């Protein structure tokens, strides 16, 4: 369900813009309708009041908790079921953050990502994105939402921006606490700058070498690391928020001295922070996670050379819950059943 569809239904029931605002605000903030100065019976049109129970049931049915996997770091990976039987992942992060998914699967095909292995299955609607936030708020407080879960937000731009607009206007979330993460797409830099709600930006860099980036992100737009940083810097200066550059640290791939020199060349003096995340190991993939000591040494070297670097661990390391892994494990029994049936007698 799209947010525009919800608005249209409310208008057909006699709602004015302020009534739409009230219903959507109560939903995204997880508040009962009878809170606040204006009680529903005195404020909402009769048609809206009559339809609210059925509408609420639909809204609640867009996202349900299949399973929760708490981590020792205070995070919790959530496997979220959608109304059509598909599933996505959300992550409750320490310090009141939430990571949401914008697609079921992903078309970019990052070589080190489990989600990228299955390709794109479908887009997640703006309503389903908000539903992930609403579901998470039944578990704990959410004051920050990052679009870094399953999917490439740039490939689902209309739905993501519609959700960001509601979160930033009615969701009680500061604009800088809405983080749009992308591999880089010209449409992103144009559209984000035009919005009333301008989120912070996170750009997947991963390497300073154009050829290696094409190998690691085979279906990402052909934009060089230099072009990516240039576009990011323009947006950072426009919004006043530093760009977060994401770097998945892969042992023997992008952890050499040449890459460190390249990072300094690209990011020193920029309004930016580098988030360096040691690879979250995925079975059957050749990439390896470097030691924490090695990762710490790289981050310290970059600090000394003038690049603000934050060494982070991927939430869910201790529950084998890297992006896409929960969904893949949940789907595995069904895949095995299909395989067994095919192996049976003809």
Return all residues near 67 (Cβ < 8 A) that are at least 6 apart. 78, 79, 326, 330
Nearest Cα residue to 170 out of 19, 5, 1: 19
Cα 15-21-130 angle, rounded to 5 deg:
120
Per-residue pLDDT, 346: 29
Low-confidence ranges of the chain (pLDDT < 70): 36-38, 41, 314-346
d(CA 32, CA 289): 46
63-70 and 87-93 as β-strands: parallel, antiparallel, unpaired?
Answer: unpaired
Q: Residue 337 has what pLDDT? A: 33
Q: What residues contact 261, with CB distance under 8 A and at least 6 apart? A: none
Q: Would you tell me how many other CB atoms lie within 10 Å of the CB of residue 324?
A: 23
Q: What is the CA radius of gyration of the chain?
A: 21
- Per-residue pLDDT of 55-107, as tens digits, reads 999 999 999 999 999 999 899 999 999 999 999 999 999 999 999 999 999 99
Kindly list the catalytic residues: 89, 323
C-beta of residue 102 within 8 angstroms of C-beta of residue 159: yes
Residue 231: its pLDDT value, please? 97
What's the confidence (pLDDT) of residue 341?
35
DSSP H helices, the chain, are 3-12, 17-29, 40-43, 46-60, 114-117, 126-137, 157-169, 186-194, 210-216, 225-239, 257-267, 292-304, 325-343
């Amino acid at each position: 369900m799209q947010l525009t569809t919800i608005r249209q239904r409310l208008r057909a029931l006699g709602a004015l813009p302020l009534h739409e605002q009230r219903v959507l605000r109560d939903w995204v903030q997880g508040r009962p309708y009878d809170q606040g100065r204006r009680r529903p019976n005195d404020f909402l049109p009769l048609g809206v009041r009559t339809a609210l129970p059925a509408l609420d049931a639909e809204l609640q049915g867009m996202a349900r908790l299949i399973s929760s996997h708490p981590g020792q770091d205070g995070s919790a990976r959530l496997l979220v079921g959608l109304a059509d039987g598909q599933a996505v992942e959300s992550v409750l992060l320490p310090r009141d953050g939430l990571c949401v998914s914008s697609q079921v699967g992903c078309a970019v095909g990052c070589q080190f990502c489990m989600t990228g292995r299955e390709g794109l299955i479908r887009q997640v609607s703006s309503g389903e994105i908000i539903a992930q936030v609403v579901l998470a708020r039944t578990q704990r407080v959410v004051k920050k939402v990052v679009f870094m879960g399953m999917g490439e937000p740039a490939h689902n731009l209309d739905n993501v921006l519609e959700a960001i607009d509601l979160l930033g206007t009615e969701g009680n979330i500061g604009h800088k606490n809405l983080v749009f993460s992308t591999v880089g797409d010209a449409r992103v830099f144009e559209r984000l700058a035009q919005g009333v709600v301008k989120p912070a930006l996170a750009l997947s860099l991963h390497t300073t070498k154009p050829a290696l980036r094409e190998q690691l992100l085979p279906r990402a737009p052909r934009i060089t690391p230099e072009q990516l940083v240039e576009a990011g810097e323009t947006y950072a200066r426009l919004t006043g928020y530093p760009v977060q550059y994401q770097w998945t640290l892969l042992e023997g791939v992008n952890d050499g001295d040449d890459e460190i020199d390249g990072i300094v060349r690209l990011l020193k003096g920029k309004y930016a922070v580098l988030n360096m995340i040691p690879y979250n190991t995925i079975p059957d993939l050749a990439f390896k996670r470097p030691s924490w000591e090695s990762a710490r040494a790289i981050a310290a070297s970059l600090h000394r050379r003038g690049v603000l670097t934050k060494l982070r661990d991927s939430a869910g390391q201790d529950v084998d819950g890297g992006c896409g892994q929960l969904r893949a494990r949940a789907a595995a029994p069904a895949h095995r059943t299909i395989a067994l049936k095919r192996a049976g007698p003809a």
